[in-house]
């Protein structure tokens, strides 16, 4: 990218990323993906235009230039989903840059995103979720390791935590309070109620763990066999073993337990906005994608709640 772009445009890209990180709270992984997507787009356009791309070059881009880039990406085998993500990043940068440079970004913003089939999450049934937790807790391993994995998965299903959020808990959280303050994606903070089952599961793990969790409040609550922070891959392996034992599909992953948390709350009549807060989603549309309530259940809620005459 350094040879394809002028210093001014390189600085602009970094300025946009700094803006997203500082003001919008974008996560590091998100910023990394955006940098890669927009840099690749700008580099392509520099080659397409036949020289180093600067502010004037961005301002002069036409819809045909966008179509050429998208055709190039499809030719490289880029999926429609990935291309849609890249185009979204390009539009975000163009909108921000146009505000500062005073040009009209309509040609870029009007580019149509490729259509793709959104993959909806597949939650477990309520019985399957309980069976998974029970089987993980009884797998033939050291008692404390089985208790540890069961405690983590209980937090995913019982509190709707992401695996990264559960593993970010510290020793000081060993005696779980009635609510947890969770720092989620993009630094977004939320309050999550802790159900008694989660509290009992964590207490059982702490009691069996060979490490003195209480004596090390700033270290990870969930430990690996050598005493370091638990690797999330080990939780995934425990889930793999449990789903094999129960005959569940490959979609029964640790993250599916969080999907199940949302879906089961909604199917029980939970408010979608409240579930959005519990999950820490910035957008309600994201929460809707996490839920999978059948039409019959939705009609039951409609018939019970609609204020018709």
Angle at 160 between CA 306 and CA 196, to 5 degrees: 95
Instruction: With H, G, I as helix, E, B as strand and everything else as coil, classify residue 79.
Output: coil
* Structural domain boundaries in the chain: 7-109, 126-303
pLDDT tens string 189-214: 888 889 999 999 999 999 999 999 98
Lowest mean pLDDT among 159-163, 179-183, 276-280: 276-280
Active centre residues (catalytic): 162, 185, 255, 258, 281, 290
User: What is the CATH architecture of 7-109?
Assistant: Orthogonal Bundle (1.10)
Lowest mean pLDDT among 13-27, 213-227, 247-261, 281-295: 281-295
Lowest mean pLDDT among 154-163, 164-173, 266-275: 266-275
Instruction: With H, G, I as helix, E, B as strand and everything else as coil, classify residue 170.
Output: strand
Give the model's pLDDT for residue 149.
95
Contacts of 109 (CB under 8 A, 6+ apart): 91, 94, 95
Q: 266 or 242: which carries more pLDDT confidence?
A: 242
Domain 7-109 and domain 126-303 have a common topology: no
Lowest mean pLDDT among 20-29, 38-47, 99-108, 242-251: 20-29
Tell me what the mean pLDDT of segment 226-247 comes to: 92
pTM of the model: 0.64
- Report in angstroms the alpha-carbon separations of 115 from 76, 77, 79, 231, 292: 17, 15, 10, 36, 22
Residue written as token pair 């040879």: 3
Question: In 3D, which of 276, 120, 92, 252 has the Cα closest to residue 184?
Answer: 276
Kindly tell me if the per-residue pLDDT of 187 is higher than 50: yes
The answer to whether 258 and 161 have CB atoms below 8 angstroms apart is: yes
Q: How far apart are CA 173 and CA 152, in angstroms?
A: 13
Give the model's pLDDT for residue 49.
82
Tell me what the mean pLDDT of segment 22-43 comes to: 83
Lowest mean pLDDT among 50-64, 157-171, 194-208: 50-64
Kindly tell me if the per-residue pLDDT of 309 is higher than 50: no
- Report in angstroms the alpha-carbon separations of 26 from 94, 142, 183, 232: 17, 39, 13, 22
Q: 5 or 124: which carries more pLDDT confidence?
A: 124
Q: 26 or 77: which carries more pLDDT confidence?
A: 77
User: What is the CATH architecture of 126-303?
Assistant: Orthogonal Bundle (1.10)
Kindly tell me if the per-residue pLDDT of 294 is higher than 60: no
140 confidence band (pLDDT: 50, 70, 90): confident
Kindly tell me if the per-residue pLDDT of 144 is higher than 70: yes
Kind and range of the H or E run holding 183: strand 179-183
Q: How far apart are CA 243 and CA 13, in angstroms?
A: 45
Kindly tell me if the per-residue pLDDT of 293 is higher than 60: no
251-271: string of b/e by CB count within 10 Å (b at 16+)? Answer: ebbbbbbbbbbbbbbbbeeee
208-238: string of b/e by CB count within 10 Å (b at 16+)? Answer: ebebebeebeebbbbbeeeeeebebebbeeb
């Amino acid at each position: 990218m350094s040879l394809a772009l002028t210093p001014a445009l390189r600085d602009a890209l970094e300025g946009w990323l700094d803006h997203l990180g500082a003001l919008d709270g974008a996560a590091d992984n998100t910023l990394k993906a955006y940098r890669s997507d927009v840099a690749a787009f700008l580099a392509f356009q520099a080659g397409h235009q036949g020289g180093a791309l600067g502010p004037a070059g961005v301002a002069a881009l036409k819809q045909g230039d966008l179509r050429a880039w998208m055709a190039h990406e499809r030719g490289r085998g880029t999926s429609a989903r990935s291309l849609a993500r890249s185009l979204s990043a390009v539009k975000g940068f163009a909108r921000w840059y146009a505000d500062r440079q005073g040009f009209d970004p309509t040609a870029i913003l009007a580019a149509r995103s490729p259509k793709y089939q959104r993959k909806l999450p597949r939650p477990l049934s309520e019985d399957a979720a309980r069976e998974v937790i029970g089987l993980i807790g009884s797998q033939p391993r050291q008692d404390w390791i089985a208790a540890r994995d069961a405690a983590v998965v209980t937090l995913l299903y019982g509190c709707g935590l992401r695996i990264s959020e559960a593993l970010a808990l510290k020793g000081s959280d060993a005696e779980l309070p009635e609510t947890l303050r969770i720092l989620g994606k993009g630094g977004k903070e939320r309050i999550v109620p802790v159900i008694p089952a989660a509290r009992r599961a964590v207490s059982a793990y702490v009691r069996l763990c060979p490490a003195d969790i209480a004596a090390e409040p700033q270290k990870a609550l969930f430990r690996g066999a050598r005493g370091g922070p638990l690797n999330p891959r080990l939780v995934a392996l425990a889930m793999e073993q449990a789903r094999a034992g129960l005959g569940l599909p490959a979609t029964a992953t640790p993250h599916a337990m969080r999907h199940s948390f949302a879906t089961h709350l909604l199917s029980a009549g939970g408010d979608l906005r409240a579930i959005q807060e519990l999950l820490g989603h910035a957008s309600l549309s994201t929460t809707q994608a996490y839920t999978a309530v059948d039409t019959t259940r939705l009609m039951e809620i409609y018939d019970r709640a609609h204020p018709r005459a």
